[in-house]
Each structure stands twice: as C-alpha cells, then as structure tokens.
Amino acid sequence: MELNGYLYALSAGATWGFLGIYGAYLSRYGLTGNDIAFVRLFFGFIAGVVYIIKNKNINRVVSLDNIKNIAVIGIVTQGVMNLLLYKSIIIIGTVTATMLLCTGPIFTVILSSIILKEKITTQKIIALAIACIGAVSLITEGDFKNIKFNIIGVTLAGMAGICYGIYPILSRRLKKGTNPLVLTVYSFLVGALVLIPTTNLGKIFELTRDIKTLMVLLTFGLIPTLIPYILFLKSMEYIDTAKASIITMVEIPVSALIGVFILKESFNMYKFLGIVLIVSGIMITKINFEKIKSKKYKNIN
C-alpha cells in the first residue's frame, strides 16, 4: 500500500512540473506573475467544482469548523504565498527566489514533527539534503553569480517557502466532516480573491475571448493545478506528510526537462547533476535505514 503513496506523490510532482510551460506561454501575452497565479487558482477552482459535481462519491458538505481552515489555506498557502514569491522575484530575481521556495519541504518536515508528531528520521534528513543540493545545482546551473542577496527579498522568498511548506500540514489537520479535496478547491477561490487587487482582470478577460487561449487557461487550471492536488492528497493516505513533500520535488527535474525538450532551453552538466541528486534523494525515502541497522546488529550478534 505504501507503494501507492509513492506513485501518487511522484505523479503529483510530475504534473506540477508543467507549471513552467504554462507560465512561459501566458507571459507572452504580457501577463505578470500575479496575473498567472490568479488565472491558475481561478480556473483551478472552476475545474475543481466541475470534478466535484461529476464525482458523486465525494462528500461536498463543508463543516462549520472547517470554514476557517478554507480561509487559512486559501489566504496563506495560495494567495499570500504567490504575493510573497512574485514580490521577491522582483527584488532578488527568479533564481534566488525559486531556490528559497524549494525550502518548503524543509519546513514541512520540521512542522510535521512538531504538529503531527511525525518522526524526523535519518532517512528523511539525508533524502531532503541530497534533493535540496540537487535543486540548487539545477536552478543555478552552477553559476552562483546569479544568486542575489537582499535581506527583504530573501525574507519574502523564505516566507513564501514557509507558506508553501505548511499546506500539507494544514490538510492533515482537517477536522472530520469535510473532504480535503473539497476544502482545497474552495481554497483556490479564496486565494484568487486575495490576488485580485494585484491582478489585471481586464487583460485576462480579453484572453478568454479567444477559444484557443481559453482552452489553455482551462487546462492550466486542470493539469498543473487540480490534478496534482488530487494526487498529492491521495498520497498522504498511504505515506506520511514529510515523505510525500520530499517526493513531489520531482517537479523540479520534470520542469527542467520540459524546458529543455519543449522550450529549447540549454542543458548542461549542472542540470544533469541536479536531476540525478533530486531523483536520488527521492529514492532514499524508500530505503528503511532502521531495518538495515537492525539487520547489521543481528549479523554482528
């Protein structure tokens, strides 16, 4: 059964990897980072509502106790996270901001041990460390000159990483009576509402007039938004929160490979090394170090 959790988490990370290609396409129309984030959440909400209506097995009722959870998840992990991320990109650039956002799983591991009482094992520490080193190698491409330090920018990007990392924790902490997916879909709407003041709604409305572009917007809400959240929530039914978060870091190499093969971006040794390290870190989450230790101990005796 644990294998199912790994497969769901890997699939979630892989589909999140398509975010970059949608972002690159929509930026050609002059949309800003906040515009793209709004489009993603708004159309993710629409896709989610359609999915929930079509799937009669899903409990659509939201308990009163969980309404505040919808607000917190929507405001913090969707709305505020995007505002902090794109503001930090303006100050310190995409490379540094993206690298700091990748610290999200670190906060997930720490907070899951404090709030959910999950163990911080040797396995998790090694897996996360290797995957994070891989992310740095892949994102910077070995050129650390692109890393900019500005206390405000770094703080904002770090806070975005925290917001990103607490989503799995909040999803686990739900009170009975509400399906986690239903809560997440409603949180998309809350996040979109938070982004409205920084969004050019007029430009987005113009794009919806073109059928081809409208289809892109709809699939944007489905493929790298709704589907990975469905898969990620499913993965946490089989494996713990920290492991699921580490495994979804496969998003980074998938995004890089899409950039190379579809967007014709460059591919070098540092990207290759980064991909190898991230995949290695993910594979380590499957190794049971405690079992290996006990076997060695038995053999010695």
DSSP per residue over 182-234, as a string?
A: HHHHHHHHHHHHHHGGGS-HHHHHHHTTSHHHHHHHHHHHIIIIIHHHHHHHH
Residue 296 has pLDDT above 80, yes or no: no
**Letter for the amino acid at 154?**
V
**What pLDDT, in 10s, does the model give residues 144-193?**
887 888 899 999 999 999 999 999 998 887 766 678 899 999 999 999 99
Q: Determine the pLDDT at residue 149.
A: 81
For residues 77 and 180, the answer to whether their CB atoms sit within 8 Å is no
Q: Return the higher-pLDDT residue of 98 and 301.
A: 98
**What pLDDT, in 10s, does the model give residues 93-152?**
888 888 888 889 999 999 999 999 999 998 999 999 999 999 999 998 888 887 888 899
Across 28-37, 209-218, 291-300, least confident range:
291-300
What is the mean predicted confidence (pLDDT) over 202-221?
95
**What pLDDT, in 10s, does the model give residues 48-75?**
999 999 998 888 878 777 888 889 999 9
Domain encompassing residue 63: 2-300
Domain count, the chain: 1
Model pTM? Answer: 0.91
Q: Determine the pLDDT at residue 62.
A: 81
What is the mean predicted confidence (pLDDT) over 34-56?
95
Q: Which pLDDT band, with edges at 50, 70 and 90, does 273 fall under?
A: very high
Q: Determine the pLDDT at residue 199.
A: 96
Question: Would you state the torsion angle of the CA atoms of residues 263, 91, 161, 285, taken in this order, to the nearest 10 degrees?
Answer: 50
Cα 150 to Cα 243: distance, rounded to the nearest angstrom: 32
Nearest to 184 by CA among 199, 167, 196: 167
Residue 180: Cβ-neighbour burial (10 angstroms; 0-12, 13-18, 19+): buried
